[in-house]
Amino acid sequence: MVLDPARLPTLILASQSPRRAQLLERLGLPFQTRPAHLDEEASNYLAPEALAHALALHKAQAVWRSGEWVVAADTVVALNGVLLGKPVSVAENRVFLKRLSGQTHTVFTGLALILPEGRAVALVDAAQVRFRRLEDWEIEWYASSGEGLDKAGGYGVQERGMVLVDRIEGDFYTVMGLPVRRLWQLLAEEGYFSGGKGGAA
């Protein structure tokens, strides 16, 4: 099989995240964005892994139309089982960073794919992230930058937040917000690369 991106179905990315769009662009897959607008707080009673799974699936379902391939992802950060969402202020971002400093937390990214006939497949990929022990001035520097305000856990590993992290066990792109290896494999398994009619490529 020769892969010709020009002949692939256009993926619908149910996200407004520039990071997820950037990753799809790097893969060279045709896509367009169609953000899903959901009340993410309504599902916060779930355990972190279940929450990531549910949010990704709900986002994909919210934008799917018959005949389309829809991809959605959602990232959840948990420290000792406690959720750290998106900080609503610089002050809350400082609190998050103080809690993460010197600790290992888990990043769960849910990934959902809906096929043209409406069948949905969803999974969760997890990675362990260890933060350095941060100095107070580093916490202030990062929180004041505003970079973490739209990100689960209050930091972005692919931007200035790269200096906060000591090590990652697992897929870097899961921490970034889209486990591209798992997505690629899922698309192949569901026949996307072989004409988009279902079945293995």
State how far the alpha carbon of 8 is from the alpha carbons of 60, 66, 179, in Å: 19, 17, 20
> Of the candidates 106, 98, 118, which has an alpha carbon nearest to the alpha carbon of residue 51?
106
Of the residues 4, 74, 136, 171, which is catalytic?
A: 74
E strand residue ranges, 53-119: 69-79, 82-84, 104-114
Rg of the chain over all Cα atoms, to the nearest angstrom:
17
Is 125 in the active site? Answer: no
> Of the candidates 137, 41, 155, which has an alpha carbon nearest to the alpha carbon of residue 87?
155
Active site residues: 74
